[in-house]
Amino acid sequence: MERSNRGRQGRGRGRGGGRGENNYQYFRNGGAGDHSQNGQFQNGGGGNGYCHQYNQNGGNGYCHQPAGRGGYYGGGGGGGGRGGKQLRSNQPPCQWTQKVQNGGGPPSAVVGTAVLAPAHPQTSDAKILTDVKQVQVSDSPPCSEYKLVPMRRPDKGGLVAVRPSRLLVNHFPVMFDSQNTIMHYDVTVKQEVAPRSRAAKKAIPKSDLILIREKLFSDKSKGFPMQMTAYDGDKNIFSAVVLPTGSFKVELSEGEDKNSRTYTFTIKLVNELKLSKLKNYLCGNLMNMPRDILHGLDLVMKENPSKHRISIGRSTYSREFRREDDLRCGLAAFKGFQQSLKPTSQGLSLCLDYSVLAFRKPLPVVDFLKEHLRGFVGVNDIRRLKRDVIFALKGLKVNVTHRITKQKYTISGLTDQNTKDLTFPLEDPEGNNPPTRVSLVDYFRQKYRKEIMYKDIPCLDVGKNHRKNYVPLEFCVLVEGQRYPKENLDKDAALLLKRISLAPALERKNTICQMVRADDAPCGGEFIKNFGMDVVKNMTSVVGRIISPPDLKLATPAGKIQVIKVDKEKCQWNLLKNSVVDGKSVDHWALIDFSSSDRYNRLNKENFVRSLRGRCKNLGIEMAEPLASRATDMHSFTDVNRLRELLEKVIDEARRKSSGQLQMILCVMSGKHPGYKYLKWVSETQIGVITQCCLSSHANKGNDQYLANLALKINAKLGGSNVELNDSLPCLGGADPVMFVGADVNHPGAWNLTCPSIAAVVASVNWPTPTRYAARVSPQTHRKEKIVNFGAMCLDLVNTFARLNNVRPNKIVVFRDGVSEGQFDMVLNEELQDLKSAIYDDNYHPTITLVVAQKRHHTRLFLEDQGGDGRRNISPGTVVDTVVVHPFEFDFYLCSHYGSLGTSKPTHYYVLSDEHNFTSDQLQKLIYQLCFTFARCTKPVSLVPPVYYADLVAYRGRMFQEVVMEMQSPRSASSTTSFTSSTCSSATSFDDTFYKLHAELQNIMFFI
């Protein structure tokens, strides 16, 4: 059925035009003159039409919320644009077709908001429409066939700058033949064993899979050319030529005394990857990123390094280390690089960055123990240090030297008996006689002609599946490439590793350039050329822009507000002759001295209190004498209940001396202690009082800068404001209240398989100076990145904003941390929609912008002219939004901080959806200015504060989770509390009630 409605031609700004109906989730726009149509399709007309979500209309006119000038995701017409012609198709209810005569472009070309795209494109050769074409739209929220995709860049990049800056970026252009096709094969490898054998069920190690593939390809080199294929060591082979498919038998011998094993290697064609599709995407003619092609090319680029280097994830490391990189304790810092392929405005780029990791040295086991364990002088110490030896060795892989074999063994422990006392049943090779029991010493002497030297010490047990396999320590050597956890390094080794990692800018740049030109680099040799690829071995040159820092508001010592300009080079400001903008009086506070029993770090209470009060006064923070003071020792941190009782006694003492509520307890510790988390959990979830901790060693020195930083944290926690922007973010439209939201998820360590992930959401609760934030924290499914309760948490924060400001925010800017590009779809189509569903109602439809902030990337910016000693970093305010950014999506790199150590890492901001119609200049300026409002320092930070705060809150939630888990152990149990092991089930750590903040702290910055 076809029907056509032409809106009456408007005059001026749509004289007589009506305002469109606010009919949520349907198309709506203002009518033209006396013509108005509500419901499914409406024609563009006069008045100020309102388009909220998933909506399109004809006409060129005023767009209130999603960007675009009329047309797709546009608003009502401002001047009575001509109506469109609609064709209702005979497709399913959620699909419609619209022909547009005036205004707008297709969804893929929409500027300013996330757009709808088919979830499963019909053809890989589809091109983005640039003229008036048929497009599919919806009269309801997107059905399963359509998903929102990241918005397109609204312009050609920013223009505003104090000055340009010529930079080099560690992106190396990659050329490829767009006419080529890469074949993607699926691989399955199975061992041929007896049905009831244990080997039938166990997974084949990756190292064995690589050997099996190499054996097959060398035996059948004509059909399987090694130099034309890349293998990921698991399920995927990418080939530049067509390979035979089917199942192939492979026999692999593990050693001179082992029978060969037979495997079935099955290869099946999965897909033909046409590189023309990647070219179309890079040119902007394809909406969906061809991730399968990028994955294949990534693997091709990694094939050469992985054959010559130690491979860990996306990184590869040298097999050797220099003497100066020795971390001692049997460890060394191995240098390498991290690599990835990125679609950019200049085409496909190889991003290659310098990387350092701590590895165990590939030493004989005895030599490793001598270096690694304190007090281990020789093998005779094994008995005395047996527990430490097992802890140091268990789980490590070793090679054996008494026979020729490629097999690697995993250490499961030590034997209880000494080597000379070990015996085992030896089977008759012919099977004619029953097993005879032989000693291990005799077996090695007869079988391998090896005399065991250390007979009076235990052996290593390298058996699997409860089967014993004994090997003397002297015949075992650690396999290379075994990482050592950074968190387990001692203080000296950690500092040395950090120094090696934080290479100055010029040194890092030169190291990267050397690595990319090496023979074992991704582009070394001839391998990638077999796939029609080549790499330009020079860094990409770009022109960045340095944007101006904001003017800030501070107060004079007399309390008068003044405007200051920050230091031009480092963008820092000084508090020596200035005060905070809004200093909260600290009238009711208490002090607990946990250092009283420490002979060397005991607090000088009188001097410290006097110095702190004096510094607070200079900063405009009036601080009274403490109402209560207690002296105790650090043992109080070992027990949750003891801490609770101590805090309650201090609060009671303070309450007896003053009727006001206790604002804060200042806790002075003699050193760092694991029980710190107990203090925070008890005070912030159970009692409802702010605690501020400091070390007695620092407190006794009374350093002015240290005391100032302490005062800034106290003021922020009590609801004060330390610094404000002089210009209240004009790019957000003046008087409309705005709420900034930060969201992050903290995951448990890789070794943990059960603990919950911790979701944290923070939001600004004051306007027009967004300096105070409220936080919400919640546990969720283990390692789940999606914030399950995102909508509910944001709704709670919106209501908090409304209570404190008597108005709900009309604009919301969300900053999401911790998601990769592969998770953008989840953030856009699940989290964002959850947020809208939760907060929207008939009378409330705030506009929303969604930005992802990424710090875990490997793009580095270097000054083209380093000058001086080569330690200069890029300036604060440096922005790059051309050449090395996405070909058409809205992203940019911003370095907002001054880098005094190593090489500055910019933050990568990726705009997924924008209903505020920000230009590149406006959004970059907004984010940069917000970086000056971080509460606890006098310089801009590297990450936009809402995300920084969310990170702190998520980490605090992780501390709460650790407390809950530890309280379930018997040593923490006590009958004096309701939160004992007897009441904690295995699901306790997923219980929201254990993370719920006390009502007194829900809307203040307890986490600073």
Q: How far is CA 185 from the centre of its chain?
A: 31
Single out the residue of 746, 680, 769 nearest to residue 1007, CA to CA. Answer: 680
CA angle (969 as vertex; 967, 971 as ends), nearest 5: 95
Q: 312: Cβ–Cβ under 8 A, 6 or more apart, which residues? A: 357, 481, 483
CA distance 368 to 360: 8
Single out the residue of 990, 926, 1006 nearest to residue 716, CA to CA. Answer: 1006
Fold assignment, 724-994: Nucleotidyltransferase; domain 5 (3.30.420)
Q: What is the pLDDT of residue 625?
A: 97
Fold assignment, 583-717: Rossmann fold (3.40.50)
Bridge partners, 400 (sequence order)? 476
Q: Which CATH class is domain 363-479?
A: mainly beta
Bridge partners, 910 (sequence order)? 852, 891
CA distance 661 to 999: 14
Beta pairing, strands 738-746 & 811-817: parallel
Single out the residue of 104, 135, 97 nearest to residue 29, CA to CA. Answer: 104
Q: What is the pLDDT of residue 870?
A: 63
Q: Which residues of the chain have pLDDT under 70?
A: 1-113, 115-145, 194-201, 254-259, 733, 867-870, 969-987
Bridge partners, 850 (sequence order)? 814, 913
Q: What is the CA radius of gyration of the chain?
A: 33
Single out the residue of 582, 557, 579, 552 nearest to residue 567, CA to CA. Answer: 552
CA distance from start to end of the chain: 62
Residue 202: CA count within 13 A, CB half-sphere:
11
Cβ atoms of 362 and 478 closer than 8 Å: yes
CA distance 444 to 546: 71
Single out the residue of 272, 271, 293 nearest to residue 348, CA to CA. Answer: 293
Q: Where are the domains of the chain?
A: 1-149, 363-479, 583-717, 724-994
850: amino acid identity, one letter: L
Q: What is the pLDDT of residue 131?
A: 33
Q: 942: Cβ–Cβ under 8 A, 6 or more apart, which residues? A: 855, 895, 896, 897, 904, 905, 907, 931
Q: What is the pLDDT of residue 515?
A: 97
CA distance 454 to 419: 8
Phi and psi at 204, nearest 5°, equal -80, 125
Cα dihedral 862, 868, 871, 872 in deg (nearest 10)? -50
CA distance 432 to 581: 93
Q: What is the pLDDT of residue 973?
A: 38
Residue 997, classed as helix, strand or coil, is coil
Cβ atoms of 764 and 716 closer than 8 Å: no
Bridge partners, 172 (sequence order)? 350
Query: What's the token pair of residue 374?
Result: 């304190």
Q: Is residue 236 exposed (0-12), middle (13-18) or buried (19+ Cβ within 10 Å)?
A: middle
CA distance 523 to 305: 9
CA distance 985 to 154: 52
Cβ atoms of 82 and 59 closer than 8 Å: yes
Q: What is the pLDDT of residue 868?
A: 58
* Rama region for 357: left / alpha / beta (φ>0; ψ in -120 to 50; rest): beta
Q: What is the pLDDT of residue 103?
A: 36
Place of tokens 């999401």: 816
User: Alpha-carbon torsion 242, 243, 244, 247, what sign?
Assistant: negative
Maximal C-alpha separation, the chain: 108
